[in-house]
Amino acid sequence: MSCYNNKHVVVIMKRTSSRYTINSILRACSILRCFSREKTHFTVSELARQLQLDRSTTYRILLSLERCGLVEKDERSKSYSLGVAAFEIGNTYLGRLDFIQFSKPVMMDLAARVQETVHLAVLSENEIVYVDKVDSPRTLGVVSKIGQRAPLYCTALGKTLLAYQPKEERSRIIQEIKLKPYTEHTITSKKKLFEELERIRQQGYAFDRREYEEGVECIAAPVRDHSGNVIAALSISGPRKKIGTPQEKSWVGQVVGAAALVSSKMGYRVSL
């Protein structure tokens, strides 16, 4: 099924025999993908003809999309255009691309200065996912890869992301996860984890005291978007002793400063 625009053809969905796909959702996506800069408005008949669907099916899908705010109807012309919800979804995706793009030079500079591996991670259900990484210039680094998942409760990145979740969401996640001990330093008490998260919120950064991997210490800080929401966390990781040393304050300052720089590039401004 395809949607034809004036200048090019946009292939909307691949034909698949998967028994897990829902045809009505695929058709709705096909309708949404028809809207473009070349043609911003469609009538029911135009969409039905273009997608080779019957008119009643097309109309029912448009009603559902309109209720979700994904399309809007012009009562005078009886035509449909993309709604505000479609803009919000697209803007969220672009924002995610932006923060990875903005983070890269900051991460590269940080890795060069501290000689440690730098990670950028986001929350995904009850885990973290590494979305970017800059390897340490030193021979000994941290074995990890982009797309890899890790626990929330025993990584500096995870604890940072968990600490800045709304209180109800934070409690829900902690109740659902099992605090498996990865090392002898892993926090396995939910009471202690709550206390640790409150400390992180107050100080603005998190430690991984060899809690996930033996011999690896990490320091992380939150990355915020223009409205102040924590959308990611940035960290340094490596085998060198950092926490509890005379240089701890310097290490923390480097990480917090780098995360703040990325946040500022995302439009975040600290209110005085």
Q: What is the pLDDT of residue 7?
A: 35
Q: What is the pLDDT of residue 271?
A: 60
* 55-65 per-residue burial string, b: 16 or more CB within 10 A, e: under 16: eeebeebbeeb
Task: State the DSSP H helix or E strand holding residue 81, giving kind and residue range, or none if neither.
Answer: strand 79-82
CB 60 within 8 A of CB 71: no
Q: What is the pLDDT of residue 14?
A: 43
Find residue 104's DSSP bridge partners.
none
Distance CA 190, CA 179 (A): 8
Name the CATH topology of 2-82: Arc Repressor Mutant, subunit A (1.10.10)
For 141, the token pair is 């680094």
Dihedral angle over CA of 24, 27, 32, 34, nearest 10: -170
CATH architecture entry for 90-265: 2-Layer Sandwich (3.30)
For 246, the token pair is 């005379």
Phi/psi at 73 (5° precision): -105, 130
Closest CA relative to residue 151, chosen from 112, 120, 179, 171? 179
3-state DSSP helix/strand/coil % of the chain, to nearest 5: 40, 20, 40
DSSP codes joined into one string, 197-258: HHHHHHHT-EEEESSSSTT-EEEEEEEE-TTS-EEEEEEEEESS--TTSTTHHHHHHHHHHH
AA letter at 75: E
For 101, the token pair is 């793009």
Mean pLDDT by 10 residues, the chain (272 residues): 42 50 91 87 95 94 94 93 88 71 94 93 91 82 80 97 94 94 95 96 96 93 92 91 88 96 87 55
Q: What is the pLDDT of residue 15?
A: 44
AA letter at 80: Y
CB 211 within 8 A of CB 155: yes
* Distances 106 to 29, 64, 110, 158, 228 between C-alpha atoms, Å: 37, 43, 6, 20, 19
Domain range list for the chain = 2-82, 90-265
- Cβ-based neighbour number of residue 272 at 10 Å: 3
